[in-house]
Structure 1
Amino acid sequence: MALLGTIVNGLLIIIGSIIGLFFTKIPERFKETVMHGIGLAVILIGLQMAFSTNQIIIVLLSLLTGAIIGELIRLEEGLNQVGKWLGSKFTTKNDKFSVSQGFITATLIFCIGAMGIIGALDSGIRGDHEVLITKGILDGFTGLVLTTTLGFGVIFSVVPVILYQGSIALFATQIDRLVPANILNELIVEVTAVGGLLIVAIGLNMLKITNIRIGNLLPSIITVVVIYYIYQLF
């Protein structure tokens, strides 16, 4: 079953987020310090991913084109609206921003990364769900901690996680017929590098060092595929 790993990943996020709801009353100073710790760890993870690139020009062009597309379609604004709409259904008016922030932050953390891509590919190509189950355990703990600070919105991130990883897994059941293994492996490296820089941006925002519109950079995850394909042609 190609989607087993994705489903387990989603369930573990839900469980972790629900458990986190019982710890929202801890003192604010604990939450702040814990979030700083997570922010630092997120930056480290992102840097490790970003340094994997073999073609820095591909990464640069992907971020530039992705940023232009994201700003043109105002992607982050749309994500915020989704978060606020969810907030209006489940929280009071004063909590809407928290739900929006929790939804966007958790979605970016859970969706962007090597484990999600490689794990979904393993599920689809080889029927091996170990990577996604391991990712699910990590996501569950991360969701627990994020929920204590960012609130109920974190749990909604399970929807884009399942759609994103599930789509990759289903596509991967046919991908070996379309893309040679060596090209696929190299592409994953560049996608991971771009995703790593977005992860670094998340960490910087969590530490309140910057206020990067990460949502508007998300199209770079798609443009890197196009740019890599053009690069291979020449």
Structure 2
Amino acid sequence: MSSAFPGLGTLINVAAITVGAVLGMLVGHRLSAHTRSVVTDCLGLVTLLTAGLNAIMVTDGSLAATVGSGAPLLIVLGSLLIGGISGSILRIEDRLESLAGKIQAAVGRKPGSKAPVEHEGAETDSSARERFIEGWMTASLLFCVGPLTILGSLNDGLGRGIDQLVLKSVLDGFAAMAFASTFGIGVLLSAVSVAVVQGGLTIAGVLLGSVLPDAHIAALTATGGLMLVAIGLRLLNIKQIPVGDMLPALIVAPLLTQVVISLR
């Protein structure tokens, strides 16, 4: 499918996420707490499935052929360690929580409104903020990591069509609906994350005129897959892993892959 202009695929993707999130929020408040908990568990399981499909890229043939058979696992490990240490030093998780709290407060505040009166069973500010952050980070990572995101956006910028992004838009729209029914407006904010990430990749495709090598994409996808595992564990309340601190790993992975290639 040809594109009328670079970036059309990303616009369609953002629109699909926005519509899906709005629909999810409209029906979400009608669900009981138990039903929302079941939905969250289902999302956690599907996230783990998506994580496995992405993480298996560590065995990708192009990556092994480019960096050597023993290097892919070390690249993923190194990316997570370097990215995680860097992120913890920069306190990315804490900063994201602070930023998300401010955005949530700004979005939820109405002119002339008074502070809500707390009552038994009401959602506290801290739990609401945690739910907002969880929805934003989970949806953003799920929508922004993967071969469809990278290849689709780059191919859009190169004028090679938007077929991959159209497919991704359909998948993301339904996922956004499911996530927003549980996490609310935080999922809607992930549309901004998608616009920034995919928009940047589309611009990169326009400027560079060439796609990212398959080996680099495989390393990035595998690293992102393990981060999705962490998200899945958080959704299932197994372990609250600071995924935000690991975000630099997504930048480190292709860079580390290039370093290994240069040293061979």
Structures share a fold, TM > 0.5?
yes
Aligned-partner residue type, residue 175 of structure 1:
L
Question: Which digits, 9 at most, give the CA deviation of each residue in 1:13-41, with x for residues without a partner?
Answer: 11011111111221122221122112111
1:111 is matched with 144
The 5 Å alignment of 1:97-108 reads 97-108=130-141
1:192 is matched with 221
The answer on whether the counterparts of 2:21 and 2:173 sit within 8 Å (CA) in structure 1 is yes
Higher mean alpha-carbon deviation, 111-120 vs 8-17, is at 111-120
Question: Which digits, 9 at most, give the CA deviation of each residue in 1:44-102, with x for residues without a partner?
Answer: 11112111114111111111100011001111111111211111112267333332332
Higher mean alpha-carbon deviation, 66-75 vs 122-131, is at 122-131
Q: What SS does the corresponding residue of 1:127 show, helix, strand or coil? A: coil
1:216 is matched with 245
In 1, the alpha carbon distance for the partners of 2:107 and 2:207 equals 39
Aligned-partner residue type, residue 228 of structure 2:
I
In 2, the alpha carbon distance for the partners of 1:30 and 1:96 equals 20
| TM-fit CA distance, 1:174 | 3.1
| TM-fit CA distance, 1:217 | 0.4
1:128 is matched with 161
Residue 167 in structure 1 maps to residue 196 in structure 2: no
Question: Which digits, 9 at most, give the CA deviation of each residue in 1:204-228, with x for residues without a partner?
Answer: 1111111100011010000112211
1:80 is matched with 97
Aligned-partner residue type, residue 125 of structure 1:
L
The 5 Å alignment of 1:25-44 reads 25-44=30-49
Q: What SS does the corresponding residue of 2:181 show, helix, strand or coil? A: helix
Aligned-partner residue type, residue 232 of structure 1:
I
Residue 49 in structure 1 maps to residue 82 in structure 2: no
The answer on whether the counterparts of 2:230 and 2:243 sit within 8 Å (CA) in structure 1 is yes
- Largest Rg, 1 or 2: 2
**Gaps (5+ residues) in structure 2?**
59-63, 65-71, 110-114, 116-124
Higher helix share: 1
Higher mean alpha-carbon deviation, 85-94 vs 106-115, is at 85-94
The answer on whether the counterparts of 2:154 and 2:202 sit within 8 Å (CA) in structure 1 is yes
Give the TM-score normalised by structure 1. 0.92
**Gaps (5+ residues) in structure 1?**
none
Question: Which digits, 9 at most, give the CA deviation of each residue in 1:120-178, with x for residues without a partner?
Answer: 1221224311111111111111111111111112111111110101101110123345x
* Aligned-pair Cα RMSD in Å: 1.6
In 1, the alpha carbon distance for the partners of 2:108 and 2:14 equals 22
In 2, the alpha carbon distance for the partners of 1:38 and 1:100 equals 16
Residue 17 in structure 1 maps to residue 11 in structure 2: no
Aligned-partner residue type, residue 184 of structure 1:
P
Percent identity reads 30
In 2, the alpha carbon distance for the partners of 1:58 and 1:117 equals 19
The answer on whether the counterparts of 2:76 and 2:219 sit within 8 Å (CA) in structure 1 is yes
| Partner residue of 2:11 out of 7, 15, 23 | 7
